């Protein structure tokens, strides 16, 4: 948790409606949330925002979820990751394996559309 004791959630997803859904649910559970639409933008947000949990879409333009996880590992991210995809779940499973080998803490793989119960379970 951050020094100000405010839980922080960074949502990296190019689907604005889904990102807003996560933001609303996270806010209801005590999180300050920041939304970015790509891994490239997340690089800037990451340093200043210092997230406790990152919800990461695996399929995005510019920089996909695996590339973003590689960057997070290089940046020594110690928080939790929740991987999401609206595509083939095997992509997230592969990402989970890669992330764990690189030392990232992958809490969950969620398939879109993400059910409220599942999102709340892994945010808490």
Domain for residue 118, yes or no? yes
Domain for residue 46, yes or no? yes
Task: Give the Cα separation of 3 and 42 in Å (integer).
Answer: 21
pTM, two decimal places: 0.93
Domain holding 105: CATH number? Answer: 3.40.50.2300
Structure tokens at 123: 């945010």
Domain for residue 28, yes or no? yes
Domain for residue 20, yes or no? yes
Please report which helix (H) or strand (E) contains residue 2, including its range: none
Residue 86 sits at φ, ψ, to 5 deg, of -105, 5
Q: Which domain holds residue 23?
A: 7-123
- pLDDT tens track, the chain, 124 positions: 565 789 999 999 999 999 999 999 999 999 999 999 998 889 988 988 999 999 999 999 889 999 999 999 999 999 999 999 988 878 888 889 999 999 999 999 999 999 999 999 999 9
Structure tokens at 53: 């949990």
Domain for residue 1, yes or no? no
Task: Give the Cα separation of 65 and 95 in Å (integer).
Answer: 7
Residue 1, number of CB atoms within 10 A of its CB: 10
Q: In the chain, how many domains are there?
A: 1
Domain for residue 2, yes or no? no
């Amino acid at each position: 948790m951050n020094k100000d004791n405010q839980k922080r959630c960074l949502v990296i997803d190019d689907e604005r409606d889904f990102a807003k859904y996560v933001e609303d649910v996270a806010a209801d559970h005590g999180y300050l949330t920041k939304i970015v639409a790509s891994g490239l933008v997340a690089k800037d947000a990451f340093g200043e925002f210092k997230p406790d949990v990152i919800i990461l879409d695996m399929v995005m333009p510019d920089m996909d979820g695996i590339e973003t996880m590689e960057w997070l590992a290089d940046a020594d991210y110690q928080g939790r990751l929740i991987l999401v995809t609206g595509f083939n779940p095997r992509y997230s499973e592969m990402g989970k394996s890669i992330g764990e080998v690189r030392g990232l803490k992958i809490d969950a793989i969620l398939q879109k559309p993400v059910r409220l119960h599942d999102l709340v379970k892994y945010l808490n």
